Amino acid sequence: MSQLHFQPLSPALGALVQGVDLTSKLDNVVFGQLQQALLDYQILFFENQPLTPRQQRDFAARFGDLHVHPVYPNVPEQPEIMVLDTHADNLPDNDNWHTDVTFIDTPPLGAILSARELPPVGGDTLWSSSAAAYDALSPAFKTLLDGLTAEHEFTKSFQEWRFKGTDQYERWKKARDDHPTVVHPVVRTHPVSGRKGLFVNEGFTSRIRELSQKESDALLAFLFAHAARPEFTLRWRWKQYDLAFWDNRITQHYAVADYLPARRIMHRATILGDKPF
């Protein structure tokens, strides 16, 4: 029998999972428990899980097809594993609230992040529950948001000035050309749980289509700030080989950039999802 134990970490989201070794192949019972727990808690944390890139890829692939990021580097022999290696010569760029890869038609179901090398102090990550943020809105405000759609742009986070003049510029230009603006609902319904959650984020959402630019800017500014309220968030202090698995459909996250000039290396596998509705 499975000995899985889930310890909730905050009222809004998050649980620490104990009693599982992710370096081993999981049986269907344990896999099913983890699937359900992801729905229940929105993000799962596992301690001391020294997965190889291939093991991380294989674990992630049980949940769906994997995304290969158009710009970030990856493990050469395992292209589905993205490498986030930040230091004084490669500055962090995830220090804003964002939902991963919403610049595609079918944004990720989730992502699995493994801590490989950490600074002596700092480098925490925060997550926010988009469902808790939506639930806290007044009925009148929910009515306002109903039916609104928003544009998501690759270039809002991946700006040309960061890549021009570097050996990554041609790759960036191809990624820009391959990823035109996409449109998603401002409020998304989770395809499995049915919960509603805000689906706009500072990293990629540029404007709300049904509003004037000034109205859109004002409403997005409110929603970005609202989603970051402490009541809806948790903060994880990484240890080496910690692993986090979050439901990207109903969360946002923020990688705190407070550790330079120290180095921080993370490996991420990204699981493709479906078209938001």
- The region, left, alpha or beta by phi > 0 then psi within -120 to 50, assigned to residue 266 is beta
Cα–Cα dist 253/242, whole Å: 16
| 27 in active site | no
| 190 in active site | no
Q: Is 15 exposed, middle or buried (0-12, 13-18, 19+ CB in 10 A)?
A: buried
Cα–Cα dist 126/30, whole Å: 27
Exactly one of 67, 179, 190, 253 is catalytic; name it.
Answer: 253
| 98 in active site | yes
Exactly one of 57, 67, 100, 247 is catalytic; name it.
Answer: 100
CA-to-CA dists, residue 80 to 65, 68, 70, 112, angstroms: 10, 5, 11, 11
Exactly one of 67, 98, 179, 184 is catalytic; name it.
Answer: 98
Residue written as token pair 């409110």: 222
Cα–Cα dist 36/85, whole Å: 32
Note whether 231 and 132 are within 8 A (CB): yes
Exactly one of 179, 195, 249, 268 is catalytic; name it.
Answer: 268
| 105 in active site | no
Strand bridging mode 149-152 / 5-8: unpaired
Cα–Cα dist 54/45, whole Å: 19
Amino acid identity of residue 65, one-letter, is D
Residues designated as active site: 98, 100, 253, 268
